[in-house]
Structure 1
């Protein structure tokens, strides 16, 4: 891994930063970001697809080409944007989010601020800056910069509106063997902490759409998404799939740090779902 510190600690403390200092990103940090993106292993998702990530430098939110990038007033003083590119299908979006979130956590370790954005930015302005191939789109971006020491009142108010610090409890998210049995933390065995990292992960509007079912032998963890009907219909893609990629990233990185060996597979166990909004995504198999 590229991480030098405890990634579990990094995941636990990370917050979205919307207001940045005016200083530019240091040359050493720019070099480390470029080195990270030049390593193919950092761009490969859990099911083998390679993602595409680009950096756009900005001055007063204007690119070198003179294009003004739109974020609807949510972001102040960004020094650059990191932009993801993906095809618009279920697994491409999940894998993109996995690799993108891993980069977000790496930047957090470097004490560079980030803010996951899937809907609150003007895609057309970013598409003018980046050439997309047929079938590609921009599912998500993050501004980057050094966090302002005293976050604006607006930032705190926005966190309150989206209930960013109000996470659901285990019995609303995690299950044992079937969706009929809630999973208690003390029952999760060695996967308890990775599952807790899923619970603490960021999600669009803090909807926390992930639902996990841990098998009776505690060796396999099935990941499901519970869709919020019509949540992102106007955007033309299922933005909550980003949340699933983020959840899988948090889980995998925690397993790596704890030296829990395993990997991702798509093997639907065909469990009975409690409602029609729940859909299987993938499973982690412990070796």
Structure 2
């Protein structure tokens, strides 16, 4: 997917809990499995695709699959689970699927019982994926109303700002506003001091770090849209990369005269 397509997916994404009464097509499942494999290999995580996720839920309806978002028991793994899990979500949304990040309204014990996770691995959340119904259900409308009464703007998430934010950062933070967050709490706090942009959450060893990872991905997508190529350091500082310049060296003429 292009960066523009990711932005399109961010704009259209809504959490869905009511799905059509049919499972994902086999070719769609194959693509999602491939994305899961790529994430696990590149990020050292332990995502698992589950074909039929209905036994693990009560308030969701219809037929749907899920991705178990799991990895090592560390702060970095928590953030990476959010970052890479959201990348899969956005790809699914762009291609017309309904998704929902879930951290509390599924049977976590049953997940652990059904899948053999080593003791040093943790299940941090699951992502439901299916063909969303054309209209929102009563449950979906009720949950949306309950969790979106106090939606934070990106200005509310900025803890310190000693000068005007660059336009690219302001735009990126607007995309952060549109990211999923447990009960819409948006726990990430941003700081812009002496030209350095950084972020953190109060309780890094909690599910807040899932939200943090999601926010970091949305921020990177936003800055790239404005021509800034950067990445988050291990200290959660956004580091801007210098544009690479191609150097063309004249070839020496080694042909015999």
Question: How high is the TM-score relative to the length of structure 2?
Answer: 0.84
Structure 1 equivalent of residue 131 of structure 2? 146
Question: Per-residue displacement from partner, 1:26-47 (whole Å, max 9, x unpaired)?
Answer: 233223223323335x764xxx
Structure 1 equivalent of residue 101 of structure 2? 116
1:29-40 equivalences in 2 (<5 Å) = 29-39=28-38
Question: Per-residue displacement from partner, 1:14-64 (whole Å, max 9, x unpaired)?
Answer: 100000001221233223223323335x764xxxx42121111127x2xxx
Cα offset for 1:100?
A: 0.8
Give me the whole-angstrom Cα distance separating, in 1, the residues matched to 2:232 and 2:3: 24
Cα offset for 1:133?
A: 1.3
Give me the whole-angstrom Cα distance separating, in 2, the residues matched to 1:120 and 1:286: 38
1:154-173 equivalences in 2 (<5 Å) = 154-163=139-148, 166-173=150-157
1:127-138 equivalences in 2 (<5 Å) = 127-138=112-123
Cα offset for 1:203?
A: 0.8
Q: 1:4 to 1:195 in 2, by over 3 A?
A: closer
Structure 2 equivalent of residue 276 of structure 1? none
Question: Per-residue displacement from partner, 1:157-190 (whole Å, max 9, x unpaired)?
Answer: 11001117x531333112554xxx5x76xx3322
Structure 1 equivalent of residue 251 of structure 2? none
Give me the whole-angstrom Cα distance separating, in 2, the residues matched to 1:258 and 1:34: 32
Structure 1 equivalent of residue 46 of structure 2? 52
Question: Per-residue displacement from partner, 1:188-244 (whole Å, max 9, x unpaired)?
Answer: 322221121112211111111011112343xx320121459xxxxxxxx61111111
Structure 2 equivalent of residue 199 of structure 1? 177
Moved more, 4-13 or 113-122: 4-13
Give me the whole-angstrom Cα distance separating, in 2, the residues matched to 1:144 and 1:194: 26
Conservation of the 8 A alpha-carbon contact between 2:12 and 2:93: no
SS at match of 2:44: coil
1:235-254 equivalences in 2 (<5 Å) = 238-254=206-222
Give me the whole-angstrom Cα distance separating, in 2, the residues matched to 1:171 and 1:37: 34
Q: Indicate yes or no: 2:97 matched with 1:97.
A: no
Cα offset for 1:135?
A: 1.1
Conservation of the 8 A alpha-carbon contact between 1:211 and 1:224: yes
1:6-25 equivalences in 2 (<5 Å) = 6-25=5-24
SS at match of 2:101: coil
Give me the whole-angstrom Cα distance separating, in 2, the residues matched to 1:38 and 1:213: 34
Conservation of the 8 A alpha-carbon contact between 1:3 and 1:106: no
Gaps of 5+ in 2: 242-257
Give me the whole-angstrom Cα distance separating, in 2, the residues matched to 1:55 and 1:120: 18
Conservation of the 8 A alpha-carbon contact between 1:173 and 1:212: yes
Q: Indicate yes or no: 2:187 matched with 1:209.
A: yes
SS at match of 1:148: coil
